[in-house]
Amino acid sequence: MTEQPSQLTMVGAPDGHEGQGFFATSLEKVIGLARANSIWPLPFATSCCGIEFMATMGANYDLARFGSERLSFSPRQADLLMVMGTIAKKMGPVVRQVYLQMAEPRWVIAVGACASSGGIFDTYSVLQGIDKVVPVDVYVPGCPPRPEQIIHGITQIQELIKNESLRRRHTPEYKALLASYGIE
Amino acid sequence: MAVVTSELVLEALQNRFGSALLTVDYPYGMLTLEVTPEAIPEILRFLYDDEILRFRFLTDLCGIHYPHQEGKELGVVYHVHSLENNVRIRLKAFVPETNPELPTATTVFRSANWQERETFDFYGIRFTGHPDLRRILNMDEMSYHPLLKQYPLEDSTRTDKDDKYFGR
């Protein structure tokens, strides 16, 4: 048996100044790094996209590799709301309520065509995209998207988190965004 | 014990409710009667209680809208099943769009409760005597009954569809 070389990779350090025995970077980047690699997602799974998400969490695709080891089934402790599946208009207020219960900073990912735009359900009873009720950061297309696509969506969220200014949630733009959804 | 057939059921109903039966038909071999809306609870009760017929299972209760059938625009269709005799029959009752009201079947079948709520939700048909007639599937704030033919199926808030690609 040949010895396999260890392929363990760590998250790279953010940009900064390095020298003998020290490394200097901004607090923002350190916090972004920590947040991006320890996302607690809240899975809001209503249909087939939720099944793909289960595969994403399973051993083959293993979302835990990206730091989302622990799902949070309480919005109070969740960082990322993952809406996966068709949201009927009757369900819209529930999605909104869950979003309101999440603490800042919070992110939202719309997985699949239905959560993004209503998908094939161009009908009176279906919400035509969750961005009608809550602001969305990343949209994952597909019907349903494969686990690789969901992972790609998560890594896009990670990029957003890494590069987000600590002041972003206090900016007038962000407040105006929330206000446009009638939130505070 | 006599073998219960559609003909036997029809005969029993004609003897008892002659004037309430409007039309008789056998689409796909299933006895289908159009009856007056007022007679529905009595007919269901009779079919339920009769010791030989024993129609004790309400398979389905649903609404239907024929906008061109003047004075009989809205209908309710009842499917009842005699499990012991393995006989099914279908009852239809039509009401005008202007006053869509007919007596509830919950007095005979308690399972009719939610099915009548659904029929009310989608067609606006009011079942008099229903214990709790309110919407069941659509959101409470909805201001119309969506399966009536005058309302479009599509959602008007849809923004990402170009009509020319969707044949609208």
Tens-place pLDDT, residues A123-139: 999 999 999 999 999 99
Tens-place pLDDT, residues B53-86: 999 999 999 999 999 999 999 999 999 999 999 9
Cα–Cα dist B102/B14, whole Å? 21
* Percentage of residues of chain B with pLDDT beyond 90: 80
**Which amino acid is located at A40 in the chain?**
W
Q: Do B33 and B80 form a contact (C-beta atoms < 8 A)?
A: no
Q: Is A96 on the interface with B (CB under 8 A)?
A: no
Contact: A124, B155; criterion CB under 8 Å: yes
pLDDT of residue A147: 95
pLDDT of residue A24: 92
| Nearest-Cα residue of chain A relative to residue B157 | A128
Q: Is A118 on the interface with B (CB under 8 A)?
A: yes
pLDDT of residue B166: 62
Tens-place pLDDT, residues B114-123: 999 999 999 9
Q: Do A72 and A38 form a contact (C-beta atoms < 8 A)?
A: no
A17: distance to nearest CA of chain B, Å? 47
* Percentage of residues of chain A with pLDDT beyond 90: 74
A182: distance to nearest CA of chain B, Å? 18
Find how far residue B106's CA is from the centre of its chain. 13
Question: Is the overall model pTM greater than 0.90, yes or no?
Answer: no
pLDDT band (50, 70, 90) for residue B112 = very high
Q: Is A95 on the interface with B (CB under 8 A)?
A: no
Q: Is A126 on the interface with B (CB under 8 A)?
A: yes
Q: What does the pLDDT average to over A14-40?
A: 91
Q: How many angstroms separate the Cα of A172 from the Cα of each of A131, A154, A169, A176, B35?
A: 20, 27, 9, 6, 66
Q: CB B143: neighbour CB atoms within 10 A?
A: 4
